[in-house]
Amino acid sequence: MAFLAIIIIVSWIWCWWWPVPVTTVYISRHAEKLNYTSDTPLSPVGEVRALELAHVLKDEGIDAVFVTQFLRTQQTGQPTATESGVNVIQYDAGISQEVVDAILANHIGQQVLVIGHSNTVDDIAIGLGAPGVPELDELQFDRLFVVHRFGSTVHLDRLRYGVETP
């Protein structure tokens, strides 16, 4: 019985002195695109939204910005990367698990932005342990999902930024 009490006390002290780091991942799809070609740049409205995202995240201490190989995600993430003083990290849009694995391997306890696509934002959130994010409609650009991971506990916040979209 005394041994059990010692284990409980040591466990409590261990948790007190070595808290679990919180990893925060902001997930958004790219901003409005100029047209429907495969590697289209952002439209002027999309460029404004990308700047608004950088403004929203300005004080969050972003440690990493992940974008896909497509120009529209790179242009959406670059203002935040510039504001935060970090380089963008490219991942393959067709392999959402790639960005999840990179975050969980290299960015525990950090603040991370991931720019994806309407059909990948939900997969990235699920990969991080946050089910319930819907696949986005083609006209939804104002969604910002925030996944907080601490240990095996995951919390999801759903936000909007910039000009409202459907």
Q: Which tens digits make up the pLDDT trace of 81-95? A: 999 999 999 999 999
Q: Which tens digits make up the pLDDT trace of 60-113? A: 999 999 999 999 999 999 999 999 999 999 999 999 999 999 999 999 999 999
What are the helix and strand counts (H, E) for the chain?
5, 6
Nearest to 72 by CA among 116, 26, 138: 116
In angstroms, the CA 152 to CA 161 distance is: 28
Q: In the structure encoding, which two tokens stand for residue 21, read together?
A: 């780091």
Cβ contact 111:62 at 8 Å:
yes
Q: Is the four-CA dihedral 102, 103, 107, 108 of positive or negative sign? A: negative
Nearest to 78 by CA among 107, 46, 121, 122: 46
Q: What is the pTM of this model?
A: 0.88
DSSP string, 114-158: EEE-TTTHHHHHHHTT---PPPPPTT---EEEEEEEETTEEEEEE
Q: Which tens digits make up the pLDDT trace of 117-146? A: 999 999 999 999 998 899 999 999 999 999
| Domain 21-160 bears CATH identifier 3.40.50.1240 | yes
